[in-house]
A and B are shown apart, each in its own frame.
Chain A
Amino acid sequence: MIWLTLRQFRVQAAVVFGGLAVLCAALAITGPGMADEFNSGFASCTAQGDCSRFTRRFFEDHEMAFGAVILIVAFLPGLIGIFWGAPLITREIEQGTHRLVWNQSITRTRWLAVKLAVVGVAAMVAAGLAALAADWWSDPIDKAASDDISRITPLVFLSRGIVPIGYAAFAFALGVTVGVIVRRTLPAMAITLAVFVGLQVAVPMWIRPNIIPAESKIVAITSENHGEMMMMREEGDKAFLQVEVEPEPRAWTFTNETVDSSGKKVGRLPVSVAAGAPCAPPPPGPDGEPPEGPSQACFDDLAKKGYKQKVAYHPADRFWPLQWAETGLFVVLALGLTGLCFYWTRRRLS
């Protein structure tokens, strides 16, 4: 049965693993050079005392490739679900060959078990390989990336570590199960894609923040911890300030809202930008450029008025606990789907 599974699977496997081989080769060729560039550049900028300019330039140089690698690794589980999972059984049903193979001296359960095991393991291996390659290659870029695209942030998280393995297992099981239930390849592919993408969006919004308890606190807004601050001018001297803070370097902050002294959420902070007001834009410096960020007086004024920032976040060192928890969740979901698939194949399919 293993032979038959491999024989039927070889074209699809060749496409995906061939693509992976190309990706790995490209990463293997460009990786070491990029790492050398980073190491030497970082050494020289550390000697000069300030690396922010070097890291920013380094990141911008490699941003495209960095994004492309993330995209490929992120899409791989979905592709596996669509092109390996969905057709696995539907193709047999559409061509009637299940009636041939189910009447060899092998039970339907064993037939399905071997098919799921062989292709499922291949799916996990493919995703694991891709993630491993991405992790290795992206290392210098990760170091150079600014805090809001650290490894734990949603965009990067899904293409790193071990979660792609969990996603691949789940997407594959999803594709097979949907296929077994709807019995037709194209609709099964469409449903698999829709469900999987929906879940990929839902997980960072609602599940990942809570899968292990998040850090949650209310902090003062200071010149040290502030992140993005946006000033929106209205007519005259009135303006609104939108504040975000960074509670910890490289953390993933998913709640970031300003509260007043009573703890009530304030969407936009009304401030005055009249000349001499604390948060008025400071005059340009000697080089003609305005200094970065608001003045210390502005932060003092915000503190005096009782405004603080409420944040919920996962610190950077939660990367692996989160990876394990999410991978575990998806593997459990995949196992549940596999059980349903067995039930359906034994009882409902004919």
Chain B
Amino acid sequence: MTAALEARGLGKKYGKRWALSDCTLDLPAGRVIGLVGPNGAGKTTLLNLAVGQLAPSAGSIRVLGGRPADGPGQLARVGFVAQDTPTYAGLSVADHLRLGARLNPGWDDAIARERLERLGLDPARRAGKLSGGQRAQLALTLGIAKRPELLILDEPVAALDPLARREFLQHLMEAAVEHSLSVVLSSHLVSDLERTCDYLVVLVDSRVRVAGDVDDLLATHHRLTGPRRDPATLPGDQQVVSESHTDRQSTLIVRSEGAIHDPAWTVGQVGLEDLVLAYMSDTPTRSTLEAVR
């Protein structure tokens, strides 16, 4: 099975600023992959590179084995729901379906109509008059009825209220099952991704901080609490993700393939949200630790 997305040293520069740098990723197909990171971390840039909206400044990217947007064939295999789910304000819902049907040889009109009916969207209504949630659902319908192998969504629920957010994710997950879609979706909130994703990529400051299967990530990350000590004294296979210290106690989040046997530590599980936050927050440097000492 070809990978959903392969990036090698991928980078994108705007002027002098790198919006994404040195990104090397292998995202498996058949998964629901979450791309999480603070605003401005480079999520949109990475996704736009994946759909060929942008051209890389460095490195290479292949999506489902092909070059992004390289001809109609490749475009047909990858669906994209862009940030803020753009639609043509002046065109009706039915016009949008017609647009999809005309521009996509693999268009599945039955799916599109069935979805509209379930959503209760009036085909005659103009897209400009839809609520945010309805617009997002319309954009998702276009993405799904195109029958892609991979569906990429850029912050699809960021602007939605909790109810619309939930409905959107329900429909997305259902489509993923029904059409065996690979899905990549980004969000700046882990809570959006926690249930939906089984693979996670954390992007901070234009760089990939960690990527992996969610279960693996949860199994290999531990919260250690115990008497204060210098993290440098930890065994080599335990990689410190974040640390915080009081004058007596140290709390560390470490990544380790093996179990933690040191009896000085109380070992706890790390939830996905804490894990992501640990990667997002700046790791304190040794110098601050020394300053405390």
Q: Do A and B come from one complex?
A: yes
Which of A's residues lie within 8 Å of B, judged by CB? Answer: 1, 3-4, 7-8, 95-97, 99-108, 110, 347, 350
Evaluate contact between B75 and A107: CB separation under 8 angstroms.
yes
Provided the pairs A3-B98, A104-B75, A105-B146 are in contact, do residues A97 and B87 lie with their beta carbons within 8 angstroms? yes
Q: What's the minimum C-beta distance from A128 to chain B, rounded to whole angstroms?
A: 29
In the complex, chain B residues whose CB is within 8 Å of the CB of A99: 53, 80, 82-83, 86
A350 to B54 alpha-carbon distance, docked (Å): 6
Q: What's the minimum C-beta distance from B239 to chain A, rounded to whole angstroms?
A: 36
Evaluate contact between A96 and B72: CB separation under 8 angstroms.
no
In the complex, chain A residues whose CB is within 8 Å of the CB of B272: none
B194 within 8 A of A: no
Which of B's residues lie within 8 Å of A, judged by CB? Answer: 48, 51, 53-55, 69, 71-73, 75-76, 78-80, 82-84, 86-91, 95, 98-100, 102-106, 139, 142, 146
In the complex, chain B residues whose CB is within 8 Å of the CB of A108: 69
A103 to B69 alpha-carbon distance, docked (Å): 8
A107 to B74 alpha-carbon distance, docked (Å): 10
A110 to B69 alpha-carbon distance, docked (Å): 12
A76 to B80 alpha-carbon distance, docked (Å): 39
Provided the pairs A100-B142, A107-B72, A107-B75 are in contact, do residues A95 and B100 lie with their beta carbons within 8 angstroms? no
Evaluate contact between A100 and B87: CB separation under 8 angstroms.
yes
Give 5 nearest A-B pairs by CB, closest first.
A104-B103, A96-B86, A99-B82, A105-B76, A103-B80
Evaluate contact between B82 and A103: CB separation under 8 angstroms.
yes
A100 to B73 alpha-carbon distance, docked (Å): 17
Provided the pairs A4-B102, A7-B95, A105-B105 are in contact, do residues A100 and B139 lie with their beta carbons within 8 angstroms? yes
In the complex, chain B residues whose CB is within 8 Å of the CB of A4: 99, 102-103
What are 5 A-B contacts with C-beta separation under 8 Å?
A99-B83, A100-B139, A101-B99, A105-B75, A350-B55
Evaluate contact between B88 and A3: CB separation under 8 angstroms.
no
In the complex, chain B residues whose CB is within 8 Å of the CB of A8: 88, 90-91
A144 to B83 alpha-carbon distance, docked (Å): 64
In the complex, chain A residues whose CB is within 8 Å of the CB of B87: 97, 100
Q: What's the minimum C-beta distance from A45 to chain B, rounded to whole angstroms?
A: 58
A99 to B154 alpha-carbon distance, docked (Å): 11
Provided the pairs A103-B75, A105-B76, A347-B55 are in contact, do residues A97 and B88 lie with their beta carbons within 8 angstroms? yes
| 18 extra interface residue pairs, beta carbon distance < 8 Å, beyond A104-B75, A107-B69, A108-B69 | A1-B103, A4-B102, A95-B86, A96-B86, A97-B86, A99-B83, A100-B86, A100-B142, A101-B103, A102-B53, A102-B69, A103-B79, A105-B73, A105-B103, A105-B104, A107-B72, A110-B72, A350-B53
In the complex, chain A residues whose CB is within 8 Å of the CB of B146: 104-105
A181 to B71 alpha-carbon distance, docked (Å): 24
Evaluate contact between B88 and A350: CB separation under 8 angstroms.
no
In the complex, chain B residues whose CB is within 8 Å of the CB of A1: 102-103
In the complex, chain A residues whose CB is within 8 Å of the CB of B142: 100
